Structure 1
Amino acid sequence: MPNTPVIQLSNISVVYDQQKAIDDLSLSVYPHEIMVLVGESGGGKTTILRTISGLVKPASGHILVNGLTLNDQNLRKIRLNMGYVLQQISLFPNMTIKQNLTLLPEIKHQSKTAADQTIKELMAAAKLPIDYLSKYPNELSGGEQQRVGIIRAFGTKPDLIL
């Protein structure tokens, strides 16, 4: 296993309303490693993921993602190589499933042919019919929407999935 972590948190603390949500957390995740956060509701699991993705700024500590310091300068570059499966799915309701799935490949200037092929493969892997691509999120069940959210996270073949 390579010695360089893909995620490295050093002494991270996050504070909401003068209450510590994360207190002095350090951890490293290495390439090809799967890490699972387990804990009770309100234990900080989502806050940790939001902090790694740059959605929450820590009160103290340092974050490295693929060797880059997570700061305003590197945030966009880091996020474009990161897939994120949100708890609340967050599909755009005014866009078809295909539009939801092709948005990130377009932002990353991936070829339409390659993006379409990846989407077809991922739809099959998620056992979703290809004709769902023309549907809107409200036409799918909650579980189907969640699978679309997972497909979206994997759609650009990111370096990292949260």
Structure 2
Amino acid sequence: MNSHVALAVEPLLPGAELASFARRHPQAGGIASFLGQVRAGDGEEAVLELELSHFAPLTLPGMEALANEAGKRWQLESLLIVHRVGSLLPGDPIVLVAAAARHRREAFLAVDFVMDHLKSDAWFWKRERTKGGWRWVEPRLADHADLERWSTAGASAQV
């Protein structure tokens, strides 16, 4: 399996990224993808800005190791992970994960696996600015529960 893993400082163009990924893998029977974007919210809790920081010596190697782990668990043609860093506004794309596989189930599971790890066990620090000021964003209990299902025996086939 080959993979493309990248950190993006410039705005992410998910449509172009996904179209390019699909063109490079015409042999795949299915391509599954997930696009995460900055959630706006409303009222006093409305997010005005999201800031994503990372530690360069760990972030990209960690993302590459995650892609390799997904490739070991499922029969993938390829995997794409592009994650933004820097300052983002509501509606801006944060992360794009796509998997190409002969069969859809492998692609769906791989994307789900990667996103659960990126949400809970990644090398990023997030803080958001609201009307009340800046606050750090931590993984929720549900994010940790989602991650835990992959460490259970036989979890590679669970949904």
Q: Give TM-score scaled by structure 2 length.
A: 0.24
Structure showing greater radius of gyration is: 1
Q: Give TM-score scaled by structure 1 length.
A: 0.23
